């Protein structure tokens, strides 16, 4: 089991809507994430910067960030595009912060 962490950006003023949508996550999306081997998935918001920090346990080197070609995941990205910073194709960019104890950002690993 490996733990990874990454960050994404929420648009200003969208915290409540983000929480509402995730409180009602689509069952088919939740199923795909679990089938990929993701567990203990948590997302935290830094309200000062609108930065979302996510961490998850993964197995077999898979994770939710490897599901970009899945049509359900693509629909979710499109659904979230009005409240998150995205690319033109609704892809939600992220920055990997750590993976299996290896830091990709100096401020995160103390």
Round to whole Å and give the CA distance between 52 and 64. Answer: 15
Query: Are 10 and 84 in contact, with CB atoms under 8 Å apart?
Result: yes
Residues contacting residue 108 through CB under 8 Å, at least 6 positions apart: 5, 97, 98
Catalytic site includes residue 22: yes
Residues contacting residue 39 through CB under 8 Å, at least 6 positions apart: 56, 57, 58, 59
State the catalytic residue, choosing from 19, 20, 22, 31: 22
Give the tokens for residue 33: 């994430």
Give me the active site residues, please.
22
């Amino acid at each position: 089991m490996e733990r990874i962490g990454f960050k994404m950006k929420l648009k200003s003023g969208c915290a409540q809507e983000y929480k509402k949508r995730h409180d009602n996550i689509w069952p088919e999306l939740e199923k795909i994430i679990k089938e990929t081997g993701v567990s203990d998935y948590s997302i935290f918001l830094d309200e000062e910067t609108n930065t979302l920090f996510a961490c998850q346990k993964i197995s077999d080197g898979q994770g939710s960030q490897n599901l970009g070609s899945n049509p359900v995941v693509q629909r979710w990205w499109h659904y979230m595009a009005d409240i998150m910073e995205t690319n033109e194709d609704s892809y939600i960019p992220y920055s990997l912060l750590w993976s299996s104890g290896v830091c990709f950002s100096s401020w995160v690993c103390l």
